[in-house]
Structure formats: C-alpha cells, structure tokens
Structure 1
C-alpha cells in the first residue's frame, strides 16, 4: 500500500518546504505542484482517509481541519481565492489522509 506521506515526507527521506507545522499536523508545498499554489496538509500520525480514521478518532481530524482552515485563509488573503480538496478511494493515490489547499490561477475579471 502506497503512503508517500509516512514513507517519504514525514520521514524526511523526501525534503519538503514547510508552510505550517503543529505537534500533530504538517502543511507543506506539494513536491510536484499542479497549480500556482499547491499545499498539502497531513496528520503526522497515519490516518488512512477522511472516511477511515483508523484508530485515531476525530480529535486528530479536528487538528488537521484547523490547519487546513488557517492555510486556506492565508492563500485566500494572498491570492483572492482558495480551493480545498481531499480524495477518497481510487482517487486517493497515497493511502494517508491528506488535504490539498490550492490557488488554481488567475481569477475571472470582477472576482479578484
């Protein structure tokens, strides 16, 4: 089972540029970004997915959501918009719950 976050990012094997960090959560710039701003937020402890919290319970999920909110607010304040995404099932490449905080690019006139 693939878990880039435990095996690479959290272990330090793949260096990441930290955006925000708490005792339980890490937010960092995506190592292969698809957007002008592409930040990934992960719990430092393994949680399989949003639907399958494993034995972690909802407390750690709330820690993650708190960091997602703060990072999304920063992106929105800096760029005018933010998108927050998590994936499930076959859409979830790495079987470690993670959230993408994105700015997808230029906003249409009147929205910026």
Structure 2
C-alpha cells in the first residue's frame, strides 16, 4: 500500500483528509486486506461483508461521494469503475453488483467516494 502523500487536483480538491478512515487506509496508517491497487485506486475487503465477496474500491484522492468525484475528477471516477470490473474478474464473479451509496440516508457511512463490489450469491432486486 502506498504511503506517499496523494496529489491534489488543480483546484485543491481531492487532498487527503486526516480524519477520513479511507484516506488513512490509503496512507497506510490503518491496515486493510488489499486485493488490488493501481496508481489512482485502492481495493480492499469490507470489514462487515454483506455477500461472500464484498470489496470496496476507492479513489486515492479524497472526494466525499461518487457525485462529487465525478464532477471534480471524472478520470478518477472512471478509474474506480474500471478497477471495480478488474476486482470482479479477479474474484471470478460471473454476476456482481456495484453500489455507490451517496449520503447518510442512502447508507453511506464513510464520506470518501467508494463503490461496493458485491457477489458470490444471488442478489435480489430491489435491494433492501
């Protein structure tokens, strides 16, 4: 896992947040079971899995949610989606779900953009 400080975007957004759990994981200050890492993303197993495979894919830059990530850093958002697909392939998932929760009312508990890669069992629709 990278311990190098992360670059910020031109307008200063994306800077690591010292109080953010996921920024601290990116910095190597908190351990995680990393399954994939790229220059711009980090993927690690969820500590409270909701399916046999439950991996979180995050951008290394800090943005509070998927919408703000897409608006401020569209290439980073694309990198997160590409990494999620790579994780699903690596985990040998034929079917899987990608979930972005945006806001506390939607179940977001860590306010750093991330996608959940869920698979390994049947997933019902609509989700609960």
Residue 26 of structure 2: aligned partner = 10
Residue 79 of structure 2: aligned partner = 63
CA contact (8 A) 2:93 2:120 kept: no
**What secondary structure does 2:43 align onto?**
strand
The match for 1:52 among 68, 71, 78 is 68
Structure-2 change in CA distance of 1:106 and 1:55 (3 Å): closer
Higher relative contact order (CA 8 A, sep 6+): 1
Structure 1, gaps ≥5 residues long: 108-112
Matched residues, number: 104
CA contact (8 A) 1:49 1:97 kept: yes
Q: How does 1:1-112 map to 2 (within 5 A)?
A: 3-7=20-24, 9-53=25-69, 56-75=72-91, 78-90=92-104, 91-105=107-121
Aligned-residue CA RMSD (Å): 2.4
- Which ranges of 4 or more aligned residues in structure 1 deviate by more than 6 Å? none
Give me the TM-score of the superposition, normalised by structure 1.
0.78
